[in-house]
Amino acid sequence: MPKKLDLTENLENYIIDHSESLTDVQKEIIQYNINLGDQQRLQISVSQAQFLQTLIKISNTKKILEIGSFTGFSALSMALALPSDGVLISLDKSSEFSTKAQSFYKKAKEKKIKQIIKPAIESLNELKDSSKRFDLIFIDADKENYLNYYEICLELINKEGIIVIDNVLWHGEVIDDTKNDKFTKIIRKFNTHIKKDSRVVKNIIPIGDGLTICIKK
Ligand SMILES: C[S@@+](CC[C@H](N)C(=O)[O-])C[C@H]1O[C@@H](n2cnc3c(N)ncnc32)[C@H](O)[C@@H]1O
């Protein structure tokens, strides 16, 4: 077996630089988020955005649902990878973040993104009652509701559709026995639930804060 790669910050930057380039508006969102200070950590990493774009393209995804849009970086990145007749519904309860995200979509002339601004559980239940189904769902909102989101998403995803969940490695704390705070426990419980779930094929990818990819059987 080859020596395990030590993914340093420099190597991560090299990977980003040698993968799909960011558009000007994607770069603008990143800069806007940096200026927000602490809240910048809410945004997915650039390598995660590049990976999601690849996933969308190789799966011929046309319909995406996102739970947790923040200022729009992940939604815009995913929408850019969709074909022109694709659609992305993005859920967030914050009208402040959603208004900002909307301004970036407009600047990027990106019309495939539809926003729903209210608690995600309400939106998901409404989508469940409608006939809308999705090829790919990205879960990246409040961790307390991850299990609820996942269970509803299994009803909203097409057969062989993909559910992607962010933050599943929780800064590496999932394997640290000394960390037993509320959020670490929630993520561990969530990961165990997915592991035992025979309805999906699953794989954890160690980019950003850890992404789980579930494919519905
Ligand atoms: C981690 S951020 C999403 C980051 C985004 N995917 C990105 O890469 O830029 C989580 C988002 O979930 C939203 N959120 C938190 N709780 C929510 C809820 N109960 N319903 C809907 N949105 C919620 C927050 O307002 C926040 O914008």
Model confidence pLDDT, tens digit, residues 102-147: 999 999 999 999 999 999 999 999 999 998 999 999 999 999 999 9
Residue 7 domain-assigned (yes or no): no
Q: What is the mean pLDDT of residues 199-216?
A: 97
Interatomic CA distance for residues 147 and 194, integer angstroms: 9
Residue 177 domain-assigned (yes or no): yes
Residue 93 domain-assigned (yes or no): yes
Residue 203 domain-assigned (yes or no): yes
Q: What is the DSSP letter of 81?
A: H
The answer to whether the CB of 70 is under 6 A from ligand 1 is yes
Interatomic CA distance for residues 198 and 3, integer angstroms: 33
**What is the number of structural domains in the chain?**
1
Residue nearest to atom 26 of ligand 1 (CA): 70
Which residue bears the tokens 């994607």? Answer: 26
Model confidence pLDDT, tens digit, residues 17-41: 999 999 999 999 999 999 999 999 9
Residue 19 domain-assigned (yes or no): no
Residue 157 domain-assigned (yes or no): yes
Number of C-beta neighbours around residue 117 at 10 A:
18
Alpha carbon 73 to chain centroid, angstroms: 10
Interatomic CA distance for residues 127 and 34, integer angstroms: 33
* Domain of residue 184, CATH code: 3.40.50.150
Distance 92 CA to ligand 1 centre (A): 6
Interatomic CA distance for residues 58 and 39, integer angstroms: 32
- What are the distances in angstroms from CA 145 to CA 17, 87, 94, 205? 35, 24, 16, 21
By the 8 A CB rule, do 176 and 123 touch? no
What end-to-end distance do the CA atoms of the chain give, in Å? 31
The answer to whether the CB of 33 is under 6 A from ligand 1 is no
Ligand 1 atom nearest to CA at 145 = 19
Residue 63 domain-assigned (yes or no): yes
Residue 16 domain-assigned (yes or no): no
Interatomic CA distance for residues 7 and 17, integer angstroms: 15
Model confidence pLDDT, tens digit, residues 177-193: 999 999 999 999 999 99
Model confidence pLDDT, tens digit, residues 47-88: 999 999 999 999 999 999 999 999 999 999 999 999 999 999
Q: Which residues pair with 163 in a beta bridge?
A: 137, 214
Sheet order of strands, 87-92 included: 113-117, 87-92, 63-67, 134-139, 157-166, 211-216, 200-205
Q: Domain of residue 117: give its range.
A: 44-216
pLDDT of 1 > 80? The answer is no
Ligand 1 atom nearest to CA at 74 = 8
pLDDT of residue 171: 95
